[in-house]
Amino acid sequence: MARPVETLKTESKRPKPGRWVIVMALALVMLTGAFSGGIHRITQWDRWLLRPAESGIAVSRPIRRMAPAPASGLPAGMVLGYFYDPGQTAGAFDMLRAYLPVLTGIIPFWYQINANGSLSGTTDPAVLQLAETHHLWTFALVENMAGQSVFGPLLASPTARRRAIDNMLTLVESNGYDGINLDWEGIAPSDRQAFSDFVEQLAIVFHRHGYYVTLSVPAETANQPTNSWTGAYDYRVLGHWADLLMVMAYDQHYAGGSPGPIASPGWVKQVLDYTISVVPPNKVILGIPGYGYDWSPSGPAVALTYQEAQALAKQYGASGSNHFVYVQNGQVHSVWFENTQSLLSKIQLVAGYELRGVALWRLGIEDPKVWNFLQ
């Protein structure tokens, strides 16, 4: 049974070879028709969360240096998966169990940051126990689907920033996580320096306690400090303090825009070319999408799982591609989604660019055949 963030405690933690703070620039996307949050938004088929627009049981650990921690304590070829199950649906636990032979770690999508630095959300101890038993790395994802209404006040208040860091440290310590994952989207470009300063402060504290910090950030092809969507994320600074930068290399064409590939190989290469020019490749995790979109003239695209896209393709006689068009009620729909072939073209870039690994948004919505190539 899920428990509130504030109350769940874990008695033991598996030993790890030096936990550090990981900032993941993950290009995550889970979009819905109404965009109020970010790349990791809630879709209609989730019917819960996407982009535009107190004390726990402390466990002693060796003190780490306060300078940027290397990612060398982490294994090469990491395969991470975002676990998002807002309703604790039947079968979700079994689904996660099926991925265990391939996964290196999981990132539970359970917690929210508030403007005053407090956290909300629930923790599912059964999921964490499963990860512990199978020696998976675990990073607690903290998101801000409220967007700028959270970040303006939070970043402007030293008290709120300190409270946020303390609460995230307590969350990680109390529940046996290896570190934190910040999925903070929709930050105003004017808060670029304030966000970088916050990540530095977070890294110093987490490194001191032997934990990793991860940051999920939108994909960038160049340094554009005034860009309304990516301007707040200074890759060079974030990568300096991060152990891992998870680049959300998807939503090239997002639900509120024009139809097109979710993450074309050429575009992903541009993202990686820029990323490794300012961040060491062994700190970079490539975020890959498992979803698709169904665009129509009537409004923003509807997010689709791979299974839903396949069902539509079968219904309208389309096959053999990750893109098709169909007509419904006189309206032309354009569907783009990710399948094994399209995902493989991106997975192969990990070795070519000597990256740390991949992270899939999210477990359960992808073409299941892709796991044959992730082992």
Question: Which tens digit of pLDDT belongs to each residue from 120-150?
Answer: 999 999 999 999 999 999 999 999 987 778 8
**What's the rounded Cα separation, in Å, for the pair 75 and 356?**
8
Q: Which stretches of the chain are DSSP H helices? A: 92-99, 125-133, 148-156, 158-175, 192-208, 235-241, 265-278, 306-315, 340-352
- Greater confidence (53 vs 340) lies with 340
* Of the listed ranges 5-9, 77-81, 197-201, the one predicted with least confidence: 5-9
Q: How confident is the model at residue 62 (pLDDT cuts 50, 70, 90)?
A: very low
| Chain-centre distance for alpha carbon 299 | 26
Residue 4 has what pLDDT?
64
CB 182 within 8 A of CB 233: no
Kind of pairing between the strands at 284-289 and 244-248: parallel
pTM: 0.85
Structure tokens at 348: 């192969």
Q: Is the pLDDT of residue 164 over 90?
A: yes
Determine the 3-state secondary structure of 248 from DSSP: strand
For residue 166, report the phi and psi dihedrals to the nearest 5 degrees.
Answer: -60, -45
Residue 147 has what pLDDT?
73
**What's the rounded Cα separation, in Å, for the pair 81 and 79?**
7
DSSP at 263: S
Residues comprising the chain, all counted: 375
Angle of CA points 363, 365, 369, to nearest 5°? 85
Residue 55 has what pLDDT?
29
Mean pLDDT (whole number) for 3-24 = 43
Domains of the chain: 3-291+340-373 (3.20.20.80)
**What's the rounded Cα separation, in Å, for the pair 342 and 334?**
17
Residue 24 has what pLDDT?
43
What confidence tens digit (pLDDT) does each residue in 213-252 have? 999 999 999 999 999 999 999 999 999 998 999 999 999 9
What confidence tens digit (pLDDT) does each residue in 181-207 have? 999 999 999 999 999 999 999 999 999
Q: Is the pLDDT of residue 40 over 80?
A: no
Which residue in the block uniquely carries the two structure tokens 């032309």?
332
